[in-house]
Amino acid sequence: MENNLTAKSLLWDHLQLMAEKFPENPEVRFLKAKQLYQEYNYTESELVLSELLIKDADTLKRINVYEQAFEILLDIYLKEGNTKKALTYINSVPENLRSKDRFQVFLLEIYFQEGERDKANKVLTSLYRVESLSFFTLRNIYKILNQHSKDDLLHHLDFMGEKYPDNSEVAFIRGRYFYQNLKFELAIAELLKVVKNEDSIGEAKNILFPSFEYLFDIFVKEGKVNEASKVLKKIPESLKNSDKIKLLEAELLFIDNKISEGLKLIFTIRESSNDNYSTYRNIYKILNNNDLTTELNDHLEMMTDKFPRNAEVIFFKGRNHFKLGEYVKSLKLFSEIFTQSDNELKNLNLYEPTIEYLFEAYFRTSDLQKAKELLDQIPDNYRRKERFVLYESEILLQENEEEKAIKLLVELRENKDSDFNTYKNIYNVLTKYCKE
């Protein structure tokens, strides 16, 4: 056996060995399918799990992974955008399982992805009536609403706050929501609940440092540099030696226009990081936010050398080429990750941004045929989203399919979820076409 195995590669090697020695063992097959799922190999994982649930259901029940097998399969179908198959499958789940909260949450997401808002709301209402609704269920509902129904988010966050008033993670989720929506006073009040409750729970849940980070960024955005500096001083000693804290200190140097000192600090951090990806990623963000083009390009090349197959790095590089107007180079990189790493992109929440950059690059290079081919590759649950309906309308208008385009745009405008941005985007598409 090779001496340079990592724990992750050893795990996979061990699973392969188990599969060779016990090829018909259902538990081994389940463990391998679960690992394939975690490695984004959904196709093979789905095949194994589907067969196990048909042929070895009793064994799966005996080893207490029967429900988990169903959950993984449903999650695979949702991640692949195959909501019709997910709906068919959830209806095949035994009633005693289907009525459980977590399967109702799957049903909630299926209905949202299918555009069945009334049915989704009915499921959501029934979940809210469950007296023993767990924090984890509420957190999963939050994630779904955040993606599909942002108008319902605040009500849900209030519900979480009422049900779990002393839960640090609830305070963190609420604080993050207010931060993202620029409601800084409310964000500060919630985030302070987390940092004042400086216990093992906060660190174990990985919410303590992000809470300090959001507070730091709020004060920076408000121009309160002294307050931001005070936040750094309040960070517990157990966290102060981390690269993340040092990078926040570097950000303060950039704010004070001490560019050379800031660059010196982040490059020192990079050299001592033992090629930690998170550190490289955070340095990228700082260089990008400060428009340090030369240093950013050098850093991206370094990231590419050290993490050549990392989909996020390829995305960063493609975005950089796009910003520089190098659309052909950008297309090459985005096409590569879209065709080879789509599942990884979905887990990184970069799937939709990648598609958007591809569309924009095709339009800028006047490659309408490629834009049409891309549209055909997008799963229906994504294609129904506003951004992609607008792209489809733009393609139809450029092809002089005016009647079809108008129908799509009017339907989009009349959708009950449409807002000012929807109207503005429709206006922009029509304006662009009429000018041409």
Q: What is the mean pLDDT of residues 226-238?
A: 86
Model pLDDT, residue 204: 45
Per the prediction, the chain carries an average pLDDT of: 88
3-class SS letters over 173-204: HHHHHHHHCCCHHHHHHHHHHHHHCCCHHHHH
pLDDT digits (tens, 9 = 90+) for 54-93: 899 899 999 999 999 999 999 999 888 888 889 988 888 8
Predicted confidence (pLDDT) at residue 371 exceeds the cutoff of 80? yes
Predicted confidence (pLDDT) at residue 360 exceeds the cutoff of 90? yes
Distance CA(27)–CA(56), nearest Å, equals 10
Helices (H) and strands (E) in the chain, counts: 30, 0
Predicted confidence (pLDDT) at residue 402 exceeds the cutoff of 80? yes
Predicted confidence (pLDDT) at residue 156 exceeds the cutoff of 50? yes
Distance CA(79)–CA(91), nearest Å, equals 18
pLDDT digits (tens, 9 = 90+) for 189-216: 999 988 887 654 545 458 888 899 999 9
Distance CA(333)–CA(354), nearest Å, equals 10
Residue 326 banded pLDDT, cuts 50, 70, 90:
very high
End-to-end CA distance of the chain: 64
Which range (59-63, 185-189, 343-347) has the least confidence? Answer: 343-347
Distance CA(66)–CA(50), nearest Å, equals 11
pLDDT digits (tens, 9 = 90+) for 85-114: 899 888 888 888 888 888 999 999 999 988
* Rounded (5°) CA angle 406-423-221: 145
Model pLDDT, residue 329: 94
If one compares 129 and 200, the residue with the highest pLDDT of the two is 129
Domain assignments of the chain as residue spans, ordered by start: 186-239, 241-308
Residue 157 Cα distances to 27, 136, 170, 178, angstroms? 39, 13, 8, 10
Is 0.85 topped by the overall pTM?
A: no
* Rounded (5°) CA angle 135-105-109: 130
pLDDT digits (tens, 9 = 90+) for 254-272: 988 999 999 999 999 999 9
Which residues make Cβ contacts (< 8 Å) with residue 405, sequence separation at least 6? 392, 393, 394, 396, 397
